[in-house]
Amino acid sequence: YVTAPGQVCALDSQTGREIWCYGAIAAGRGNSSPANRGVALLGDRIFYATSDAHLICLNRLTGGVMWDINMPVTPGPFSASSAPLVVGNLVISGIAGGDGPIRGFLAAYKATTGQLAWRFWTIPQLGEPASETWNGNAIATGGGATWLTGSYDVETETLYWAVGNPFPATDGDERQGVNLYTNCVLALDAKTGKLRWHYQFTPHDLHDWDATEPFVLVDTPYRGRDRKLLLQANRNGFVYVLDRTNGEFLLGKPFVKKMNWSSGIGLDGKPQLLPANKPTKGGVKTCPSVRGATNCYSTSFHPGTKLFYVMAVEDCSIYTQSHRGGYEGYRVPSDSGLKYLRALNIATGEIVWEIPQVGPQEANYSGVLTTAGGLLFYGETGGRFAAVDARTGKTLSTFKASESWRGSPMTYMANGRQHVAIASGGNILSFALGDR
């Protein structure tokens, strides 16, 4: 099942033949927003979030609509861009729109009916817990979108979900304080939506560094004991290792070299700020860029190599103080940025190996995929789909697609044969591995 702007299609996984397509735009649901990151499945039901913030349930076999609900309960520039997540009999979906005046939330709905099960607000109301972290008028519509699909730990029944930036993004005058729960990982009881713990990566964010990058859940020995870890390469330029059972901070190290906003992460897990990086009316050059040291590209941990694989971006932006949303608060400096595929040691944060990327950053939204066979697949910025040795970074195979990468690779089995697939431009490429 694949999504395109305003569309969901069912394809034969072995041949690519179209079985059915549901047109959300033609049905009055959504617009032509270019960002949609997939669907969720449960039995014969498919769940799809539209760009006008509706959650739709489709029949998996026919594409027919089974139910359709509007997720927001207040007016605002809400949208949705990522795949929902199914946990038990609940379908959980975030919303986008945090670069505008919204009050962000994450919500769970009953899979059979679409009835609301719970809602967690990422921006508190005055008088609620965490409202003391907002001083000023921005708390009413303080952003905090939840636009990237979270991760779920079946054993502990804990849901981990990332929260985006506060609004206004580059003007903090009306939101003095650390602005919870923006730029956080939320650990929630999946059945009730109750908060178990949170960790904030970038307090009082002034650079649009959403925490909406993938969380990788890893069970591995770490510093002499078995631990349940949560790994994230954050848009702010630091790679984090947390104990996912309680949110304990274990590691925070830079994975990019262009960084001038912080000298490091302290033992308390908080960034140590460097001076002169607050956006001004005239503009201040700060690194990483507004697109981040990484973004929503998939990351991966390989238990055999003990390495964490990240698409890293060495770039800066000129940030200007602006009360407006969207792209008003920054501009791109004259020097262009560079992208790298990097393998990181999670014990130290050190870069073990890297592969430079050649070409415009905007052409590559591919993340990485690792397999049990020791391979790593990714889309190169230059337009090639590549397989490398996950331990050494040595390139083993490439395929020239000459298209931009708008999604990350994934793998599946069909008729006993493993495939690796990726979205390339307006196409889906699927490569079969091994003999039948």
- Return the sign of the alpha-carbon dihedral for residues 109, 112, 115, 118: negative
Ranking 107-111, 142-146, 328-332, 416-420 by mean pLDDT, the lowest is: 328-332
If you average pLDDT over residues 88-93, what whole number do you get? Answer: 98
Q: SS3 letters for 289-323?
A: CCCCCCCCCCCEEECCCCEEEEEEEECCEEEECCC
CATH 1.10.3470 fits 358-436, yes or no: no
**Given this model, what pLDDT does residue 18 score?**
96
Query: Residue 337: which pLDDT band, with cuts at 50, 70 and 90?
Result: confident
**Given this model, what pLDDT does residue 122 score?**
98
Catalytically annotated residues: 208
Ranking 192-206, 235-249, 311-325 by mean pLDDT, the lowest is: 311-325
Q: How far apart, in whole angstroms, are the C-alpha atoms of residue 135 and residue 137?
A: 7
Is the confidence at residue 212, as pLDDT, over 90? Answer: yes
Name the DSSP letter for residue 99: T
Q: How far apart, in whole angstroms, are the C-alpha atoms of residue 20 and residue 92?
A: 25
* Cα-based torsion angle of the residue sequence 248, 253, 256, 259 in order, rounded to the nearest 10 degrees: 100
- Return the sign of the alpha-carbon dihedral for residues 116, 118, 123, 129: positive
- pTM, whole model, 2 decimals? 0.96
**Given this model, what pLDDT does residue 34 score?**
67
**Given this model, what pLDDT does residue 365 score?**
86
Average pLDDT in the chain: 94
**Residues 115-150: pLDDT tens digits?**
999 999 999 999 999 999 999 999 999 999 999 999
Is the confidence at residue 32, as pLDDT, over 60? Answer: no
CATH fold of 71-303+312-342, please? Methanol Dehydrogenase; Chain A (2.140.10)
**Percentage of residues in the chain having pLDDT higher than 70:** 95
Tokens at 25, concatenated: 């735009």
Domain coordinates in residue numbering, the chain: 71-303+312-342, 358-436
Residue labelled with tokens 């690194």? 287
**Residues 238-290: pLDDT tens digits?**
999 999 999 999 999 999 999 999 999 999 999 999 999 999 999 999 999 99
DSSP for 221-266, written as a single string: EETTEEEEEEEEE-TTSEEEEEETTTTEEEEEEES-S---SEEEE-
- Return the sign of the alpha-carbon dihedral for residues 247, 250, 255, 256: positive
Cβ atoms 366, 409 nearer than 8 A: yes
Query: Residue 428: which pLDDT band, with cuts at 50, 70 and 90?
Result: very high
**Given this model, what pLDDT does residue 48 score?**
96
If you average pLDDT over residues 227-233, what whole number do you get? Answer: 99
